[in-house]
A and B are shown apart, each in its own frame.
Chain A
Amino acid sequence: AQKVTQAQTEISVVEKEDVTLDCVYETRDTTYYLFWYKQPPSGELVFLIRRNSFDEQNEISGRYSWNFQKSTSSFNFTITASQVVDSAVYFCALRPLIQGAQKLVFGQGTRLTINP
């Protein structure tokens, strides 16, 4: 069985603060992909990043960075110098790297509010 846990239901910070969203996953598969999606108030899920289980290099994209640690089954997401436009619900997701069914399993989401 596959499971993604985002323990933080809601986070509220003041603009320009750094914030980290936690994601812990469970899977018996040895190869898999991890994703982060952003869901702004408009409702559309926006893809942020994909990481495969072979690659534990951390990644940085502008103010966003991701820390993948296979040993602890975690894939955390950090926003540096947060901005009001970062306010959204963020979802971590997991998908096995196999042919055929490509079920994307989502966590419960973390609602991030950036206050001016």
Chain B
Amino acid sequence: EAGVAQSPRYKIIEKRQSVAFWCNPISGHATLYWYQQILGQGPKLLIQFQNNGVVDDSQLPKDRFSAERLKGVDSTLKIQPAKLEDSAVYLCASSVPRGRVRQGVSGANVLTFGAGSRLTVL
């Protein structure tokens, strides 16, 4: 099966500019995640969608970050305006085939990650 697709792979912007990242999850996966990975650290969850609804956005800096998954398939993550500390790799992941969501399966499912979008803010 095709993996999680992300674009662009690399982006360099000046601080205060805006940027958007796109993610296409594995076909049939109901749950989509955006993680931020700062150099030398483990990934940190920014937002989790189940279908097109937000499940957890407690660590998303909502004054500058926004994300949407309008049709419950692909998703975009936007940063506006960017700060120097936003330099990181933004990883998208997906999990849970839609049928298993209805069965109430949770916790066990493995996240499949994309290759990430590396953002450098100058």
User: Which residues from chain A sit less than 8 Å from chain B, CB to CB?
Assistant: 4, 31-33, 35, 37, 42-47, 50, 52, 91, 93, 95-109
Counting from the closest, the 3 A-B pairs by CB-CB distance are A106-B42, A97-B107, A45-B113
Q: How many chain B residues have a CB neighbour from A under 8 Å?
A: 29
Residues of B near A109 (CB, < 8 A) are 40-42
A41 to B114, CA, bound (A): 13
Name 25 interchain pairs, CB-CB below 8 A, sorted by A.
A35-B110, A43-B116, A44-B113, A44-B115, A45-B91, A45-B113, A46-B113, A47-B110, A50-B108, A91-B42, A97-B107, A97-B108, A100-B55, A100-B106, A101-B55, A102-B31, A102-B48, A102-B107, A102-B109, A103-B45, A104-B43, A105-B45, A107-B42, A108-B42, A109-B40
How many A-B Cβ pairs are below 8 Å?
Answer: 71
Interface membership of chain B positions 23-58, coded 1 if the CB is closer than 8 angstroms to chain A and 0 otherwise = 000000001010000001111110010000001100
The yes or no answer to B61 lying at the interface (CB within 8 A) is no
Chain B contacts for A96, CB-based, 8 A: 107
With known contacts A45-B43, A104-B45, A108-B42, A98–B106 Cβ distance under 8 A: yes
Residue of A nearest to B4 (CB): A44
**Are A103 and B107 in contact (CB-based, < 8 A)?**
no
B108 touching A99 by the CB < 8 A rule?
A: no
Distance of A37 Cα from B107 Cα, bound (Å) = 16
Known: A45-B91, A52-B108, A108-B40. 13 other contacts (CB 8 A): A43-B89, A43-B115, A45-B111, A96-B107, A99-B104, A101-B48, A102-B95, A102-B109, A104-B33, A104-B111, A106-B43, A106-B44, A108-B41
* Docked complex: B85-122 residues within 8 A CB-CB of A: 89, 91, 93, 95, 104, 106-116, 118
